[in-house]
Amino acid sequence: MKNHKKNILNLAGWTWSWEATLALAVFGPEFIWDDHQLLTILFVGLNLANGIAMIIANRHFFNSLDELQRKIHLEALALTLGLTAIIGITYSTLDITNLIAMDAEISLLVGFMGITYMVSLLVNRNRYA
């Protein structure tokens, strides 16, 4: 149990680190370093490295779960992947064909992905409880 908590905290740390470096890469050029290209490249690269570390931490987290928890997460991930692909492609198609007035923004798809995963986890946990 102690190792499981350590894996959760490790994953949380890398996730927050990835989010912080993403914010710096996106907002830094405009608000901190006046479009200095080398700094922007550095922070985009740092964000990529943090993302890879976050994936590794996620793998360690999943490997620390028991079989039931893995099944719950795997089913939630499968549903999230499928829905995100279908909704994302549909959303992009609506934009390309000008059936929606706005541009398709990846941030909306990422938000949809997070909500789908969270709801899927809750449903699966209640189903297997």
**Domain residues of the chain, as ranges?**
1-64, 66-129
- C-alpha distance from residue 75 to each of 51, 62, 120 (Å): 23, 13, 8
Q: What is the mean pLDDT of residues 56-65?
A: 94
Tell me the whole-structure pTM to 2 decimals: 0.82
30-51: average pLDDT: 94
First to last CA, the chain: 19
Mean residue pLDDT across the chain: 94
Average pLDDT over every residue of 54-75: 94
pLDDT band at 1 (very low <50, low <70, confident <90, very high): low
Model confidence at 92, pLDDT cuts 50, 70, 90, reads: very high
- Which residues, in sequence order, are CB contacts of 7 under 8 Å at separation 6+? 57, 60, 61, 64
Q: Please report, for residues 5, 84, 115, 120, 124, the alpha-carbon distance to residue 129 in angstroms, rounded to integers and kept in the order given.
A: 21, 26, 21, 14, 8
